[in-house]
Amino acid sequence: FMKRRKSWSRYPPGPASLPFIGTMLQIDFCNPHLSFKQLSKKFGNVFSLQNCWRNVVVLNGFKTVKEALIQKSEDFADRPYFPIYKHLGYGENAEGVVVARYGWAWKEQRRFAFSTLKNLGMGKKSLEHRVTEEAGFLCSVICSKEGHPFDPHFLINNAVSNVICSLVYGERFDYDNKKFQMLLRLHEKALNEESGLLPQLLTAVPWLLRIPGLPQRVFQSQRKVLDFTDELVKEHKATCNPTQKRDFTDAFLQEMEKTKEHTESSFNVNNLRMVIVDLFSAGTETTSTTLRWALLYMLLYPDIQRKVHEEIDKVIGKDRSPQMEDQVNMPYTNAVIHETQRYGDIVPAGVPHMTYRDTELQGFFIPKGTTVLINLSSVLKDETVWEKPHQFYPEHFLDADGQFVKREAFLPFSAGRRVCLGEQLARMELFLFFTSLLQHFTFHLPEGHARPREDGHFALTLTPHPYQIQAVPR
């Protein structure tokens, strides 16, 4: 008891806690990373918060995050339990991947998802062709705009999402497919439903979910996304052939068949919908948001766009499609994509972790079961690491000879055991979509339009405010 009391005396400092609500008023839940930045100035890189009764510790800066996620990876590998998800059908052995607790069911699903995506072409030529083909469709639709201003948001979303669709359902959807458009919009709304004060409050005080009708109202879009997924899985089952693996859904259904004797198996129909929704939402919004930031920066920094054009013309030319092998010969374009991910800061507050056991970090004691927020923004904009943390500066990733350099603090995909499962796929998509777009077009800010904002809108991801663009064929 004395030993434990002594340990608690080394619990990270934080703002004073009020009865019942704890420190919740200290955080702007619409921009948590900005609140974390302010609080870390006062309390240091490891500070604590109290969401009602929930203990929360926030980690800031590259050195701290590296120690936690890389050196003490397993100590920080768990996820907090979110009672709100129970209302969406998450349950024992059916937690998908993203919010699954650290344990065998998560390991089984993570390993399965990774190897299946690999077998379906992730990191290989076959998928490269699929992405290049999709980039071609995207360029054709943009061409049809004939230089008139348009908002690239849903076109890019549709193209990126089609890559995941090909992997998961074995099919893509045309850009004017109304049903698919609706699904994409629902996914975005679903992300909005998960951010802000209300979901935090419901997580901290789950009995509020017993208020009749509240969960149904709060998670309307998420429910519709799941209904939609069920429909697609049903259609799939009807055409499934046990000797063939067309896509991820087929592979999962076959695994379900193989393990149907094991009542404990995480391959069950409930988990199938959770894993599909995870791949879909984790894989679409992040990559498409990054591409939207990339185009926005090209509008705002025409000199940088010109240099990318020059490199594309020199290395790829106009007559063939970009391919992954080109990347090593295109250090400037590669640096621009990396800088977009750093400066765009797409998942600024990370995905919540939880300590798997009692642990120590930078001399502080963090007990088992503490929610840990990884302030990725503070790593990507760490003032002790980056030369110009608050500017769009591709030279962060170039040496004096203009060659590409990797940077240790480049952690947009996080690190450690819960590192992004789709990093390889995302990197391929970012390079192929971005170079294809810039190979075909010069992007301008339409005449008379105000300069777009560089700050973003936060809803788990940080997305650009809507902007219009003019694409002039090259």
Q: Does 291 participate in binding ligand HEM (rule CB under 6 A)?
A: no
Which residues, 359 to 378, sit near ligand HEM by CB under 6 A? 374
Nearer to ligand HEM, 280 or 443 (CB): 280
Taking residues 15 to 54 in sequence order and writing x for each that binds ligand HEM by CB under 6 A, - otherwise, the string is ----------------------------------------
The crossing angle, in degrees rounded to 10, of helices 269-300 and 153-169 is 150
Q: Is 98 in the site for ligand HEM (CB under 6 A)?
A: yes
Shortest distance in whole angstroms from residue 439 CB to ligand HEM: 20
Query: What angle, 0 to 180 degrees and rounded to 10, lies between the N-to-C axes of helices 302-315 and 269-300?
Result: 110
The two tokens of residue 403 are 């060659």
CB atoms within 10 A of CB 414: 19
> Shortest CA distance to 349 belongs to which of 19, 20, 31, 16?
31
Among 215, 322, 394, 422, binds ligand HEM (CB under 6 A): 422
Are 88 and 222 in contact by the 8 Å Cβ rule? The answer is yes
The position carrying tokens 């560089």 is 454
Q: How far is the CB of 148 from ligand HEM (least distance, A)?
A: 29
Contact assessment for residue 415 and residue 69, using Cβ atoms and an 8 Å cutoff: yes
Residue 272 or 425: the one with the smaller Cβ distance to ligand HEM is: 425
The residue range among 1-9, 243-251, 275-283, 381-389 that interacts with ligand HEM, by the rule CB under 6 A, is 275-283
Amino acid at 231: E
Which of the ranges 38-46, 128-136, 141-149, 407-415 carries the binding residues for ligand HEM, by CB under 6 A? 407-415
Chosen residue from 105, 159, 183, 282 binding ligand HEM by CB under 6 A = 282
Contact status: 110 vs ligand HEM (CB under 6 A): yes
Q: Which stretch binds ligand HEM (CB under 6 A): 26-34, 248-256, 419-427, 448-456?
A: 419-427
Size of the site for ligand HEM (CB under 6 A): 25
Kind and range of the H or E run holding 385: none
Smallest distance, ligand HEM to C-beta of residue 421, A: 4
DSSP state of 470: E
Does 139 engage in binding with ligand HEM (CB under 6 A)?
no
**C-beta closer to ligand HEM: residue 280 or 470:** 280
- Of 61, 350, 394, 464, the residue at the interface with ligand HEM (CB under 6 A) is 350
Could you identify the residue written with the tokens 């599909």?
276
Query: Shortest distance, CB of residue 144 to ligand HEM, whole angstroms?
Result: 27
Q: How far is the CB of 216 from ligand HEM (least distance, A)?
A: 27
Taking the C-alpha atoms of residue 256 and residue 165, their distance in angstroms, rounded to an integer, is 21
List the x/- string, 54-93, binding to ligand HEM by CB under 6 A. ----------------------------------------
Nearest CA-CA partner of 461 in 273, 272, 187, 226: 187
Question: What's the min distance (Å) between Cβ of 109 and ligand HEM?
Answer: 9
What are the C-alpha distances in Å from 9 to residues 44, 68, 366?
A: 17, 20, 11
> For ligand HEM, which residue of 75, 128, 194, 278 counts as binding (CB under 6 A)?
278
Looking up tokens 């995480």, which residue turns up? 266
**Residue that the structure tokens 């890189």 belong to:** 45
Best CA proximity match to 191, nearest among 71, 327, 347, 302: 347
Q: What percent helix, strand, coil does the chain show, rounded to 5?
A: 55, 10, 35
The verdict on 283 binding ligand HEM (CB under 6 A) reads yes
Cα 351 from Cα 353, distance rounded (Å): 7
In angstroms, the CA 351 to CA 103 distance is: 17
Which region, judged by CB under 6 A, interacts with ligand HEM, from 12-20, 191-199, 224-232, 412-420?
412-420
- Chain residues binding ligand HEM by CB under 6 A are 97-98, 110, 278-279, 282-283, 286-287, 290, 346-347, 350-351, 374, 412-414, 418-422, 425-426
